[in-house]
Amino acid sequence: MTKRKIIEINRDLCNGCALCTTACAEGALELDAEGKAVLVREIFCDGLGACLDVCPTGALKVVERDSGAYDAGAAYRHVLKTRGREAAGRVHGVAPVPSRPAHPGCPGSVAREIPAAPESGERPAVSGKSRLSQWPIQLHLVSPFAPYFKGSDLLIAADCTAFALGNFHEDLLRGKKLVIACPKLDETEGYVEKLAEIIRQNDLRSLTVAIMTVPCCSGLDRMVRQAVELSGVELDVKKVVIGIDGQVV
């Protein structure tokens, strides 16, 4: 067993609504005889926490503890048996299924083309100006005590947002300091505590979190809000959600 992220359920808070059981693509959650959510098998839980966003009572949280590793193959076979082939194709981390469009099961990783708007053939005379005003920007690398954070408007952005939103620098970054992170691919241990320290130390004027519409990206929004709570600072969080077509949702 290794220490990893996994769902934990507070039975006292669970009201049996079953929303989490459908939100979990891996079929890791179901209701027991008492109408409470339970983890079917730990190896079915990928620890990404898509179920947290639908729980109306806060009964679910992601914790780090010793557990068997997530087994995408086992989760796939479980969902195939209980929900059918189409649902099994959405299991996180499964290999492409023969005779179906090839893509891994995670909804955020589905291969797709984005129709491009017709171009006039003219290129702008001057390329867009960068609005980046500090370095470094990756959450692992920034210091909570960096002087440029003092009294700033802070943007915490998922890595993909700058590539999806064509006018990212003007629409989101202009006038702000920046921290970037990926809640799915980064080693996120300590992220909440570091963000809390940034908030606690710097008397921020505003805080914006920018994420993509894909389910795993919501983890960054959760971490930011947990960090605000941990910091003890009263600070509103503005959330901006960007679609893979580059539109702000």
Q: In CATH, what number is assigned to the domain containing residue 6?
A: 3.30.70.20
CB 15 within 8 A of CB 28: no
Per residue in 204-248, pLDDT (tens digit) is 999 999 999 987 788 899 999 999 999 999 999 999 999 988 999
Q: What is the pLDDT of residue 101?
A: 44
- Do 95 and 176 lie in one domain? The reply is no
Residue 189: pLDDT band with limits 50, 70, 90: confident
Q: What is the pLDDT of residue 109?
A: 57
- Do 20 and 98 lie in one domain? The reply is yes
Residue matched to tokens 């990783």: 109
What 3-state DSSP class applies to 106? Answer: coil
Question: What is the Cα–Cα distance from 51 to 27, expressed in whole angstroms?
Answer: 11
Q: What is the pLDDT of residue 104?
A: 45
Is residue 248 in some structural domain?
no
Number of structural domains the chain divides into: 2
Residue 183 neighbours by CB under 8 Å, 6+ apart? 48, 158, 216, 217, 218, 219, 220, 223
Tell me how many helices (H) and strands (E) the chain has. Answer: 7, 8
- Do 6 and 101 lie in one domain? The reply is yes
Percent over 90 (pLDDT), the chain? 56
Domain with 196, as residue range(s), is 147-242
* Residue that terminates a domain, selected from 50, 75, 107: 107
**Average confidence (pLDDT) over 193-206:** 96
Residue 101 neighbours by CB under 8 Å, 6+ apart? 111
Whether pLDDT at 108 is above 80? no
Residue 100: pLDDT band with limits 50, 70, 90: very low
Q: How far is CA 67 from CA 1, 63, 70, 133, 247, in A?
A: 5, 11, 9, 42, 39
Tokens of 163: 């590539």
Per residue in 15-41, pLDDT (tens digit) is 988 889 888 989 999 998 888 999 999
The model's pTM is 0.62
Q: Estimate the crossing angle of helix 218-231 against helix 191-202, to 10 degrees.
A: 50
Whether pLDDT at 127 is above 90? no
